[in-house]
Amino acid sequence: MTELSNAADAIRQQVCQALADDAALEIFAGRTKAFLGRTPTGVPLDLSALSGVVSYEPGELILVARPGTRLSELEALLDGERQYFAFEPPAWGAAATIGGTVACNLSGPRRFKMGALRDHLLGIEMIDGHGERIRAGGKVVKNVTGYDLPKVLAGSFGTLGVLTEVCLKVWPRPECEMTLAVRGLMPGAALERMIEWAARPMEITGLACDEAGLVARVEGPEPAVRAQIETLRAAAGVDSAVMAADESRAFWRHWRELEWLVPESGTQRWRFSGPPTRMVRLMEALKAEGLERWGLDWAGGLLWALLPIEAGAGLIHRVAARHEALGWRFAAGPRNEEAFTPPNGGVVRMNQMLKRSLDPQGIFNPGKMFALDEVRK
């Protein structure tokens, strides 16, 4: 514990030095998410040494860890107690850390059923842009008031502060899982089926589709899982097959890690989130811009896509905005090209207010998300 405390103190000293020098900081650990967002410039602030489990209470379903802790290490620890992160985070690299996962608010296929990562983030410890060490939420003696800091920090991409500790809720692993694969559905029909099935009072924890068809995962006690799979199979009314537990787990791991969506020369990955009812029209609009491959997740609320680089990020973001979707471009690009769909005026004002409050000198990952991050003059 003393070693962890010393590492956190060293990080705080680096932040204070940056404030004194009016120098920007580039915050990272495993660098497995470097392709998300624009490339910030600044003095490197490596959090990989700030690693380790602070506490884990299986009976209380609470885990506290430092940000540089490998995601794989935590998942192995939880698996030993038959527990897991219900938000099913993708790793996108063996060096993935829990800090980067929280900073990007990354959630996998269970998100539509179990909520996003930020819904499982109980508390954080961070160093803000005043050089102060702050605790918020979770198992703390003193909380800061005003903002719900854990939810604010999740998805801020390191632009509001330096995480030094995260407290997460964990869940018991379901006894059984099975997946139904339904073939031969057109995108519109598959999306309608996903929306309808997601509304059923069933333990469906995965609903996705691509050109090959629709997949639905059911988890829970084995008798209930088998009964619900048969109900869905009867409702499908077309060619289908059932994946047992091992095959099901392998499939969803392959899916969330995007091993099926590998960019080829001249293409790059995109992610679009928005209303499920708008996704087919968004896909049709993207086909006009060269859409090469696609997949729907989150019961239709998330679209994965391969698009030509030459289409340009600005154009793709305008297409997304017309369909009420938010786009992420999976490639670190020039600082003058947006990696995320620009927010509306209300969100811009809120982000500016948060930035002024938590990082008034603008030293944390400036320009990582939007130009509005760059409050430095």
Q: What is the pLDDT at residue 369? A: 87
Beta bridge partners of 56: 63
pLDDT per residue as tens digits for the range 291-336: 999 999 999 999 999 999 999 889 999 999 999 999 999 986 555 4
Q: Does residue 267 have a pLDDT over 80?
A: yes
Give 92's strand partners: none
Q: Which CATH number is associated with domain 2-172? A: 3.30.465.10
DSSP calls for 12-73:
HHHHHHHHHHT--EEEESS-TTTTBS----SEEEE-TTS-SEEEEETTTTEEEE-TTSBHHH
Share of the chain above pLDDT 70, in %: 93
Confidence of residue 377 (pLDDT cuts 50, 70, 90): very low
Nearest residue to 107 (alpha-carbon basis) of 291, 286, 301: 301
Burial call 359-376: b when 16+ CB within 10 Å, e when fewer: beebbbbbbbbbebbbee
Read off the pLDDT of residues 107-160 as tens digits, 9 standing for 90 and up.
999 999 999 999 999 999 999 999 999 999 865 434 444 678 999 999 999 999
The full 3-state SS of 146-192, as one line of letters, equals CCCHHHHHCCCCCCCCEEEEEEEECEECCCEEEEEEEECCCHHHHHH
Let me know if the fold of 176-256 is the same as that of 267-330. Answer: yes
Domain 267-330 has CATH 3.30.70.100: yes
Q: Render pLDDT for 223-235 as a digit per residue (tens, 0 to 9).
A: 999 999 999 999 9
Give tens-digit pLDDT for 5-54: 678 889 999 999 999 999 999 999 999 998 998 888 899 999 999 999 99
Q: Residues 183-212: pLDDT tens digits?
A: 989 999 999 999 999 999 999 999 999 999
Please state, in angstroms and rounded to a whole number, the distance separating the CA atoms of residues 270 and 263: 10
For 191, counting Cβ atoms within 10 Å of its Cβ (0-12 exposed, 13-18 middle, 19+ buried), the class is buried
Give me the residue spans of the domains in the chain. Answer: 2-172, 176-256, 267-330
- Taking domain 176-256, whether its CATH number is 3.30.70.920 is answered by yes
- Output the pLDDT for position 39: 81
Count of positions (residues) in the chain: 377
**From CA 306, how far away is CA 329, in angstroms rounded?**
10
